[in-house]
Amino acid sequence: MSSTTTTPHPTKAYKILTRPQYTHFHSTSHFAGSPLDLKDGYIHLSSTATALETYTKYFAATASTDDPVVLEIDFARLGEGSSVKWEESRGGQLFPHVYGGLEWAAVTRKWEGGEVGEELFVRLLKAEQEGQGM
């Protein structure tokens, strides 16, 4: 279900990790994927437009115990052997999927602890819509 649209896609996306997943990624500088990523054969990322829905669906209810960390991933820094494909998923929305692993060098920003929540994703989306970085 690859995208066939010619609209340019964003050059960055977000990976939401549990604290243990983040700790492993940070300490090894490589992330092969979460259990769901490994099952599906690619690393699930979210665009700015879909990150809040992803957070709400998979992380919000357990945020107090999972201590999620949000990483901004720059596609230009993915590294050799990795590629991104924009593919349809939930409700026909396009999501960036990384085939191959993530290298720490692709991480450009991080939010954790009290920074992570609905407000973060609302601010990121607003900044993108206004043409500003955050």
Q: At what angle do helices 48-58 and 118-129 cross, to 10 degrees?
A: 170
Q: What is the pLDDT of residues 44-103, one digit of tens each?
A: 999 999 999 999 999 999 888 889 999 999 999 998 899 999 999 888 889 999 999 999
Fold for 12-115, please state it.
Answer: ADP-ribosylation fold (3.20.170)
Reported pTM: 0.89
Segments making up each domain of the chain, as ranges = 12-115
- CA-to-CA distance for 73 and 6, rounded, in angstroms? 22
Tell me what the mean pLDDT of segment 92-119 comes to.
95
Q: Phi and psi at residue 26, in whole multiples of 5°?
A: -65, -40
Tell me what the mean pLDDT of segment 36-42 comes to.
97
Which of the pair, 38 or 2, is modelled with greater confidence? 38
The residues that bridge with 15 in the sheet, in sequence order, are 71
